[in-house]
Chain A
Amino acid sequence: MRARVFVTLKASVFDPQGKTIADALHSLGYEAIDEVRQGKYFELDLKTTEAEQARALAAEVADKLLANPVIESYRIEVD
Chain B
Amino acid sequence: MPSGAGREGTGGGGGAPPQSKKMKFAVVVFPGSNCDEDAYHAVTDVLGQHAEYIWHKDTDLKGADVVILPGGFAHGDYLRTGAMARFSPIMREVERFAARGGPVLGICNGFQVLLEAGLLPGAMLRNDNLKFRCEHVYIRVEQTDTPFTLACRRGQVLRIPIAHGEGNYFAEPDVIARLEANRQIVFRYTDAAGDVRETANPNGSKAAIAGLCNEARNVVGLMPHPERACESVLGSADGLLIFESVVAALKTGAFGGSTGPALQTVR
- Tell me if B180 counts as interface (CB < 8 A to partner A): no
Q: In the complex, how many residues of chain B place their beta carbon closer than 8 angstroms to a beta carbon of chain A?
A: 21
A71 touches B123 (CB 8 A): yes
C-alpha spacing A17/B121, complex, angstroms: 23
A17 touches B126 (CB 8 A): yes
User: For residues 54 through 79 of chain A, which have their beta carbon under 8 Å from a beta carbon of chain B?
Assistant: 65-66, 68, 70-71
Q: In the complex, how many residues of chain A place their beta carbon closer than 8 angstroms to a beta carbon of chain B?
A: 12
Chain B, interface SS category: loop
| Segment at the B interface, from A8-16, A29-37, A45-53 | A8-16
Q: Chain A 1-29, CB within 8 Å of chain B: the 1/0 string? A: 00000000100111011001000000000
Taking the closest CB of chain A, its distance from the CB of B173, in whole angstroms, is 9
Taking the closest CB of chain A, its distance from the CB of B167, in whole angstroms, is 13
Contacts A65-B79, A65-B83 given; indicate if A70 touches B123 (C-beta within 8 A). Answer: yes
B122 neighbours in A (Cβ, 8 Å): 70
C-alpha spacing A17/B116, complex, angstroms: 21
| Segment at the A interface, from B42-50, B127-135, B229-237, B259-267 | B127-135
B170: contacting residue among A17, A65, A66, A70, CB under 8 A: A70
Question: Which chain A residues have a beta carbon within 8 Å of chain B's beta carbons?
Answer: 9, 12-14, 16-17, 20, 65-66, 68, 70-71
